[in-house]
Structure 1
Amino acid sequence: MSLQFEPAWSWLAVVGLFAVALVVIRSAYPSQIRHLAPPRQRLLQLCRLSFLLLLFLVSLRPSISVTNEDESKSVIYLLADSSRSMQTEDASGGRTRRAALAEFSNSLKPVFEALAERCEIRLRDFADQLTVAESISDTASGQLTALGRILELASEDMAKDRVAAVLLLSDGRQAAFGSLDSDPATAARRLGRQQRPIYSVGYGGSEAGGSQLDLSLEELDLSREVFQGNVLPVRVRLKSTGAGGKPVTVRIFLENRNGVPEGRSGVLEPAAAVESARPVLQVTPGSDQDEQTVQLQLVPEQSGDLKLAVEVEPLPGEARRTNNRVETIIRVRRGGIRVACFDIIRTEQKWLRKINDSSRIQLDFYPVRSGTLASRSQIPDRCFEPGRYDAFIIGDVPASAFRPDQLQSLARCCSRGAGLMMTGGRRNFGEGGYGQTVLASLLPVELPPVNAQVTGPRKMLPSRDGLSHFVMQIAAPDQNRQRWEQIPPLTGANSLQLKNNSLAQILAVSEDGLPLLIGQGTGSGRVLAFAGDTTWQWSMQGFEEEHARFWRQIIFWLTRKETDDSQSVWIQAGPRDLAPGMPTELTFGARDPQGQPLPNIQFQAEVVDPSGKASSVAPRSSGDSAVAEFTDTTLPGDYWARVRALQNGQPIGNIGVTRFHVLQRDPELDEPAPDFALLRELSHASGGEFLTEEQLLEKLQKWADEGLPGLSVRRQERISLWDNWGTLLLLTTILTAEWFLRRRSGLA
C-alpha cells in the first residue's frame, strides 16, 4: 500500500497559494474578531484554518494504491479431433491421424503431472460436438468437423475459469454445414480477446487424398427447365486422380415416374440413347491429375419434375465413391417446340440461333448447298418423321434440294398440324420450283416461275389486320405501331401476291403497301409466307429484343402455342439442388385463366423431407407472389414442397407441388486433406502459436518449470482520498460550523 499525490497544479503553485492564504488569515482575520472572548476567537480561527488545510489537501488529490497478488489456479484445455477424417492413414508409420494424436497425448502425461500443481488439465474430444474425455483413444467416428462451433462451445465451457492455454490437436478440416458451419476464425479472435490463446498441432500428410485413385464430378451445368422432346445439353466437370490412361464412363440417369404418385421418388434409370442425343460417353484422363468438361445430351420424354443424375462409373480400387455422382431436379414441360430450318449459309441464321437460348424452342438448322448444287444436299429423312418437328422453315432453298417423297412427307406433317414458313430468297417460292410440288396448295401466295424482287429499303409495318395479330405484337398495344416505325427497314424483299379468293391475312406491309408477311390456316396447320430475309439488321442496330420476340412469336403462332395452359396455383424452388444445410427459397402464387396474378390470396405451404417429416413454412408477400425460406436441409435426398391457395377462406385451384434435392455428399471424407493453414490462422488470431509435437512438448515443459502464463496475476487498486462524499461532507460541516459561530457572535 502506498500514498500518492496528483496535484491539480504544480507543487510550487499549490504550496505558494496555501502559504499566501495562511498569511492572510493569520494577519487579517484576528482584527475582525478581537472584540470576542478569546475562546470564541480561537474556535473561529480553528474553523478557518481547518477549511484551508482541507482545501489544500484536496488540491493535492491524494490517493492510496493497493496491490494484490491473485494466485488462483489456471486451466489448460486439450481439444482432440475425433472426426472421421482423423481415420485417414497418412501419419508416420502408416498410422491413422487419430492414432498419432492419441500416442502424442499419452506421451504428455508426465508433463501434465508436473503441471498439475499449478493448473488443472481438462481433456475434450470434438467433432460436431464437444465431449468430456477421461483419456484420448485412437478411435474417431464424428460425422462432421465444426471447428467454429467447437471453439464457441469451448468458450462457454471455460466460463469464468482462468484459461492459460487451449491445446488444439487436429487435421484442421472444417467440414460442416447449416447452423454448424460457423466461422472458426471469428471464434478464435473472441478467445484471443479473452486472453485464451490457442496452441495448435496439425496431423495428416500434406498429400492426403491427393495420391489415391479417385474420380469426382462437379459443376453440373444444364438448364433446369426444358420442354418435352427437346434436346437437353448437360455439361459436368470430371476430376480424376490416379486414373491417367484409364478409360472411364460418364452416364446420365433420369427418373422414371410412370405410375409413381407425387410425394414419392421414382427409380433412376439410364437415359435412353436417341439419334440426336448422347447420354453416355467414355473418356480417358490424360494424366494422374486431370480435369475436363464432359458434354452429354438427353431427350426427356416424360414431363413434370424429374430427378437427373450424372454418374462416373467407379474404377476398381477407388475408395471414395460418394463424389462419383451429382444430382439435380429438372422441370420438363409439355409443349416444347422443335423447328427444322432448311437454308443456305447466310447471316440471318446467326441471329435466329439466339432463340435457342429459350428452353421452350429448339431450332435445328440443316444447311443446304446454294445454287445448282442444292440438289446434291443430303437432307436426312428423319426430319420428316411424324411428330419429330412441330414446324418447318424453308429459306433460300429450291424444291430440288428435297426429294419428291420428302416433300410428300413434309406436306403430311403439315396436314397433321405442323407449321410451315417460307422466307425471302432468290431461289424459292415460284422460281424455286415449288409451284409444281405438293406444297403449292399450302402456301398462301401465287408461285410464278420467276420471282419478282423488290430492291431498296422496305420498312416493315403492321397491316390493319396485323396491328392486333399475335405475331406482330413487339410492344404494348398503345406503342406497337410506333415501335414498328422505329425498326430499321428490310434490305429488299420478294414481291408476294396473295392467291385469288384466298382467306389468308396480310399481317405486314411495306410503306407503299407491298405485302411482306402473309399467314393462313390449312386445316390443323398454319402457314406463313415472308418476303424478307434481312431481319438480322434489326439486332445489329439496337433492336435485338424486338427481333427475338418477332421470331419467337412466329414460331409460337405456327405451332399454335401462342396461349399456354398453366396451373392456377404454382410453386418453384430455387436453387433446386443443394448442399446439406444450404437454404432454398420457395416462391408461389396463383393466377386466373388469363395468367394474371390473383389478389388477396392466402397460402398454406409445407415441405416434406426424405424421412417423411412435414414442416410448415411461413409465407411472406413479395409483389404478385409470396416467398418462404426453408433451411432444415440436413438430410440428403428429395424434399417435396406443396402449397394450397385460399381466397376468402376457400381453397381455389389445384395444389401446387415442386421438388428440390439435397446432395448425397460426405463433407468429412470427400476431400480429407488436412488444412494446416486454418490451424495456423486460428492460433495467430487468438494470440497463440502453430507448433509441431516437439515444440508443444518443449513449451509445456517450460511452463512446468517456470510457471504458466497468467498463473499469477498482480492486481492494483487505487482508492481516492479526496474525490468522495466524505470530503465534501467534511468541507460543508466546517463551513457551516464557522457560519453558525459567526452568526451567534453577530458577525453574519
Structure 2
Amino acid sequence: MSAVFEFLFKYRAIVYQKGTFAFHPPWPAYVSWLAAATAVAGAWWLYRRTAGVVPRGPRAALVTLRGLTLVLLVVIFLQPVLVVRTVLPQKSFVAVAYDVSKSMEIHDGRDGQSRLEEVRHLLRPAANPVLEELGRKFKVRFFRFSGEASKVEGGFEDVPRHGNVTDLERTLSQVVVELGSAPISGIVLLTDGADNHSADLAAAAAQLRARNIPVYPVGIGAPDVSRDLEVMRVSAPKKVLRDAMIEADVAVRSKGYAGRRAKLTVKEHDRLIQSLEITLGSDGEVRTHKVNFSSETAGPKIFSFAIEPFSDEVIKENNSSDVLVRVEDSKPQILYTEGEPRWQYGFLRRSVGEDRNLHLVTLLRQADGKFFRQGLEDPAILEKGFPVDKAELFAYKGLILGSVEASFFTFDQLRMIADFVSQRGGSFLMLGGRNSLGQGGYTNTPLEDVLPVNLRFGSGNPPPFQDLEYKLRLTPYGAEHPVTRLSASEEENRKRWAAVPSLIGLNPTSGAKPG
C-alpha cells in the first residue's frame, strides 16, 4: 500500500505526516484569491444564460464542475509545495544522559551483566554505529545522572559511588540549562526508569514539549522480575541513649515467595546484633516487621538491616538498607514534683535508680513551704521549691507532676510549664491522683491545652477522684509500642504486663483528645 501511495504522490506517507503544505506562487497572495473568485463567478455567468434550456439541477452540477476545474488550475499555478523540516549537520545538539544510580548495579542483563555494564556497552567509543551516526548529524553531549546531572567528556564514565536516588525531573531540567540557548534536537535517556525523587515529572515533560525538545528513553534492565525481596524502608529513632532499647520498623516487599520464611538481620560493621525469622507476604504485599536491639557504645552508628537472599532471587542488591542512629552517652535530668508522700514516689525513685541513662531530681512537698529534695548535684538547686524562671526549668529534659493541685503553682509557673513543652520541646507527664488533672483544678489553666485528655464535663465540675482497684490491660497496638516494651521478647513482654499488680485510684476524664 505504501508503494502505491509513493507511486501516486511521489513521497512516502510519513513525509506528508511530518511535512506542512504551503504555496509558493509567483505573484502576491491577493492575486490568487482574485483569480479563484473570478473562476467561480465566470462559471456561474456562463451557465446563467442557459437558464431556459438546461434544467436547474444539471445546470448547478455543471457550474460546480467547471468552477472546481478552474479552481484546480488556479491551485496548480499557485505552485503547492511540501515543507519538511530537516537537520543541518552539526548545527544542533543531542544530549545523551545515562543513569548511574544504585539500581543500575542490578545484575539482570545478558550473561549476568549489570545494567550499568549494558550502558557501558551501548556507549562504547569504538565500533558503535549508533553514536557514529549521531555524531555525523549532531553535536553530541554526554551526561550522567542520579539525583542530579553532570556533564561528561567523551562518553561513558563511571563514578566511584552510585547515587541513592533517581531524579529524572531535575536531570532533564539541568541538561537543558547546561546546553543553554543552543538548538536541541533531542535528549536520549538511558535508564531503568526507577524514578524515586521527582516532584512533578509531568510538568518538566510539558516544558520540553513546549520547546519542541523530544525525549527518547532507552529502557535498561529486565521488564519484569519474577522473584525478588526488597527492604523498602527502615524507620528507627535518629537519637537514643546508650544501652537503651532501639525499636525499628522494617518494611519488606516480596514477589514469588509468598508464605516462605526468610531471615532478617541487623548488623553493625559486619557484626551481627540481632536476627529474626519473618514470614513473607503475597506478591507485592508490604509487611512491616519490628526489630529490637541495643547499642552498648556511644557515637554515630550505622546499622544495616538485611534479608538473606534466596539462591534463585534475581535482584539481590535491594535486600538491605542502612540507617544512621546517634547513640548518646548522657544522663538527661528529669524533674519530678510530688504533692504528697505516696507509694508512686518511692517506686519511681527505685526504678530510675537502676537506669544508667537517667538522672531523676525529685521535689516532694511535706508541708506548706517545706520540701524534701533528692538527686541534687548542688544543694542550692530547688532550694525555694519549684523553678520560677525558664532558664532553671528548661535545664531539664522531662517534667513529671504527681498529685499536686494547680493552685500550688503561680499562673506564670503554669504558663512556663506549657512553654516547656511547646517551646523547649521537653517531655511532660502528669500522674493520676486526688489533686491531679481535673480534680486538681487544672481546667482553665495553660496546662489544659497540653494534656492529652479532656478535663471538662460540660458546664459542671468534674467528678471526684475514685478509689477503685483495676487491672491495666494493653491494646494490641499498646503491646507493641516502645513505651510499653518491658522486654525485647514479645512473649516475655506479655508475661510481665500480666504480672503487673493492680492499680488503685481513677481520675475521671471526658475522653482522649483527637490525635
Q: TM-score, normalised by structure 2?
A: 0.42
